Homo-oligomer: A and B are copies of this chain.
Amino acid sequence: MIYLDNAATSFVKPDAVYEEMMKCMKEYGANPGRGGHSLSIKASMEVMRVREIIGMLFNIKDPMRICFTKNATEALNVGISGYLKEGDHVITTSMEHNSVIRPLNTLKRDRKIELTVVQCNEYGEIDVEDIKRAIKLNTKLLVSTLSSNVNGIIMPVKEMGKIAKEKGICFLLDASQGAGSIKIDVEEMCIDIMAFPGHKGLLGPQGTGAIYIRDGLKLSPIIYGGTGSYSEIIYQPEMLPDNMESGTLNTAGIIGLGAGIEYIEKVGIEKIKKIKYNLVKTLHEGIEEISKIKIYSKNDIDSNSGIVAINFIDIDSTEVSYVLDRVYKIATRAGLHCSLFAHQTLGTVKTGIVRFSPGPFNTIDEIDITLNALREISCNI
């Protein structure tokens, strides 16, 4: 099987991810923060170490401002629902995932927030002047993806952060696509809140994610419960990360995430970016020479986080993806990628999109095989 669905989840993971998870589960599989005994303390310390590893990756000075969640979706819900109050105005882009669009629309309906979706062009590119024009007196939050999960387009995050900072608006970055191969600096990019999954570009296991909350910012949690701290109070403790980490954490998952990030740091984020782009470029240029295919992604390293999104003209994406899987053993994703507005923007609501998303462990040989498969399909339709 040639796995080109790394935008859904990275597969395979670095060996150390599997090894560290097993070591955790077999050697110190206790409950972190829930006991004073050696195994529990060891588990707590290892979780803390991963907080620090994440902090270093994103230039987050205080690792206690990083709270582990089950996935990026939970983190986005905390960031959005925990921040917005009735009457607040939010600006977002037309390239967002349903993990942003659904919480926002639910709040629009239930909490009477106002929502402006800034329209991007046919490649998903946004004009930051449009964001400026959308700002109103009650604008409290700007939410943007780092890059699109549909076609990989990278957003001008630094400019967005600058605008938000200048206007005193909170800036929430959804780093689900791109973290791990795009350098993120929460200070330089003026990011106030950031949600990210562990299992995509950060090469950790599924069931992991986190939210970063800038110092001084107070969000309401969406989950309340035991935190292993302040057991004597009947409300949620206010200190981070406890405030946002009720119940038992996915300890082994977090440890695996730490190993994933350590792998990235060892190889170097710039090198991973180049490895991925080399695959994307080869695939993109090869596809350009095949007839009957429309490409929805851009082909330059600073505009694309690692996706080639295509359709055979007039053919439903699911059919193509099905043939790639069954005949050629190539795993891609088709259909609507949990991102209705992005498909509206790209003009692919009816057909969906065939998405190729290579990861750092794919090879040029695999891309060549994929191109051959696409050539054959093109000849047979």
Q: Spell out A's residues near B (CB within 8 Å).
A: 1, 3, 5, 8-9, 11-13, 17-18, 21-22, 25-26, 29-31, 34-40, 69-74, 76-77, 97-103, 105-106, 109, 197, 199, 205-209, 222-228, 231-236, 246-253, 318, 321-322, 324-326, 329-340, 349
Contacts and interface: CB of A to CB of B under 8 A. Distances in A.
A325 B36 contact: yes
Nearest to A330: B37
A163 to B, nearest CB: 25
B29 A97 contact: no
Contact of A34 (B8, B17, B36, B226): B8
A340 B231 contact: yes
Given A207-B248, A228-B338, 10 more contacts: A3-B39, A5-B35, A37-B332, A69-B70, A70-B74, A99-B225, A205-B250, A226-B339, A227-B338, A232-B340
B99 A37 contact: no
A207 B252 contact: yes
A272 to B, nearest CB: 19
Nearest to A205: B252
Nearest 4 interchain pairs by C-beta: A207-B250, A73-B247, A226-B338, A99-B225
B36 A12 contact: no
Contacts of A76: 225
Instruction: Give the most central of A70, A97, A250, A335: most B CB within 10 Å.
Output: A70
Contacts of A35: 5, 8, 321, 331-334
Given A9-B31, A231-B335, A225 B77 contact: yes
